[in-house]
Structure 1
Amino acid sequence: MITLFHAPRSRSTRIVALLKELDAHDAVRIECVSIPRMDGSGVRDARNPHPEGKVPLLDHDGVLVRESSAIIQYLTELFPKTGLGIPTGHPQRGAYLGWLGWYAGVVEPVLTLEAIGLDHPALARTFRSSAEIKARLAAALKDRPYLLGDHFSAADLLLHSPYAWFGKPGEPALDAWVDRCTDRPGARFAAEFDARHAAA
C-alpha cells in the first residue's frame, strides 16, 4: 500500500497534483493530517509518521520517503508511463535531477528566508538571491515553454509551485510559465481536492 500524508494547502499539495499528472491518484491513498502552521494554527497529528510532523510524507509498504524533491523522484520512477520524470540513460536526466536538487538546496531556502525577512551577505553568497533565481529560470525558459523543452515535467511542477503559492514573479516569461503549470489537470485536481478537505 502507498499512502501520502497530506495537509490541505501546504507543500504537499504539489504532490497531490503530481499524483493526478501521473495517473496514480487511484493507486495512492491520501491521508489528510493536521500540521502546525506558521500562523499558529494546527497541531502535530499523531497519525503522521513523519519524524518532524511535517508533510509531504510518502509511506510505501512501511518505507518512508520525505522531502518533496525525493518524493517526486520516487513517484515518477514508480509510475513512469506519463513521462513526467526523466529515466536513467536519457540525455536530459542530469538536467532534470539538477532542477529537483536546486529547488531543495537553493530555491526553497532563499524564498523562505526572504518571506520571513532574514537577510545576510553570507546567505546571498551561499544561496544567491530571489532575483538570481528568477534570472536562471527566465534563461531556461527563454525559447521554450518548459524547463526541459516542449514537454511538461515534474521539474516544472516543483519549480513553479512557490510562485503559484506566493504569487507570480512579475516577469512575462515566468508568469506565462506559471500560468501554463497552474492550468494543468494536476493543479486543478489538487486545488479541488484541498477545497473539499480543508475544512475537515
Structure 2
Amino acid sequence: MPTAEPITLFYSPHTRATGVRILLEELGAPYTLHVLNRAAGENRSPAFLAVNPLGKVPAITHGKALVTEQGAIYTYLADLFPEAGLAPAFDDPIRGPYLRWMFFYGSCMEPAVVDRFMEREPGPQAMSPYGTYDGVMDALIDQLKTGPYLFGDRFTAADLLWGMALSWLTAFKLVPEEPPVRAYVKRFQARPIVARINAADAEMATEHQVAAARG
C-alpha cells in the first residue's frame, strides 16, 4: 500500500533532482516540491544547509526520514512503491544486478567522467574508485547491448537514473554517443513523463533567472 507519510522533494530545475521528480511521477507517488532557486543562491541558505550540508539537490524527506544521494533516493522510493513494479523484489534474481547499476553511476561513472573532463589522471589503480574511464564505458555499453533497457525488456528505476544521466552526458558531449547509448537515450526521452517534466523545468528555470536578476 502507498505510504501515508508525506514525501517532500527539495528541488531545482535542470539538476539531478529532475530525475527524482520523473521517478516520483512514474511511481504515481504523492509528493510536494520544495523549490530552491539556485540562481538566487537558495541552495546555500542556512535552512537548506540544515537539510543537506553539501548544499546539493536532490534530497527528500519522508516523514521523519531524510535521504540524500541519487542512488539512495531512487532505491528508497522505488522500494517504497512496489506496486509500480520499478524495483525488483528482494528475492528477484535481478535484484543484485539492479543494485549494482543503481550505485555504479555515482560510484564509478560520475568520477570517471569528471576526471576525463578535467583532464585529470584517475590515480593509481589501487586508489581509483572506478579503475579506468575506458573500463567504465566498456561495462556500460556491454550492459546497454542487452537492451532495450539495462535488464533487457524490463524497465526499472535504474533506467530512470541512467536515462537522465546519459541524456545530460551526451548533450554536453561528456561521453561518446555509441549506438547503444544513443538508442537508450532516445527511448528514455520518448517517455511522456520525461518530456512533461523537462518542459516544466525549462519554464521554472526561466522564472528563477528573472527572479534572481530582479534581486
Task: Normalising by structure 1, report the TM-score.
Answer: 0.87
Which of 178, 183, 186 is the aligned partner of 1:171? Answer: 178
Q: Is the 8 A contact 2:7 2:60 kept in 1?
A: yes
Identify the structure with the greater helix proportion: 2
2:193 aligns with one of 168, 172, 186:
186
Identity %: 35
**1:45 matched to which residue of 2?**
45
Write the mapping of 1:27-46 to structure 2, written as runs, cut at 5 A. Answer: 27-35=30-38, 42-43=41-42, 44-46=44-46
- Give yes or no for the alignment of 1:2 onto 2:7: yes
Decide which of 21, 27, 30 is 1:22's aligned counterpart.
27
In the alignment, the residues of structure 2 paired with residue 123 and residue 15 of structure 1 have an alpha-carbon distance, to the nearest angstrom, of 33
Contact between 1:35 and 1:54, CA under 8 Å: does it hold in 2? no
Alignment RMSD: 2.1
| 3-state DSSP of counterpart to 1:3 | strand
For residue 167 of structure 1, give the secondary structure of its aligned residue in structure 2.
helix
**Residue 80 of structure 1 corresponds to which residue in structure 2?**
82
Shift of 1:172: 0.6
Moved over 3 A (4+): none
Select the structure of larger CA radius of gyration: 2
After alignment, is 50-59 or 118-127 more displaced?
118-127
Structure 1: give runs of 5+ residues left out of the alignment: none
Counterpart of 1:57, as a letter, is A
Establish whether residue 158 from structure 1 lines up as the match of residue 161 from structure 2. yes
1:135 partnered with 2:122: no
Task: State which of 94, 97, 109 in structure 2 corresponds to 1:95.
Answer: 97
SS state at 2:124 partner = helix
Letter in 2 for 1:28: Y
Distance 1:140 1:100 in 2: 13
Match of 1:70 among 69, 72, 85: 72
CA contact (8 A) 1:20 1:189 kept: no
CA contact (8 A) 1:144 1:150 kept: yes
1:101 Cα deviation after fit:
1.8
The amino acid of 1:68's aligned partner reads: Q
Distance 2:81 2:144 in 1: 26
Q: Aligned to 1:59, what secondary structure does the other structure show?
A: strand
Tell me the TM-score normalized by structure 2: 0.81
Tell me the amino acid that sits aligned with residue 144 of structure 1. G
- Structure 1 position 197, deviation (Å): 1.5
Please, which moves more after superposition, 63-72 or 128-137? Answer: 128-137
Structure 2 unaligned residues grouped into runs of 5+: 1-5, 209-215
Q: 2:60 aligns with which of 41, 58, 65?
A: 58
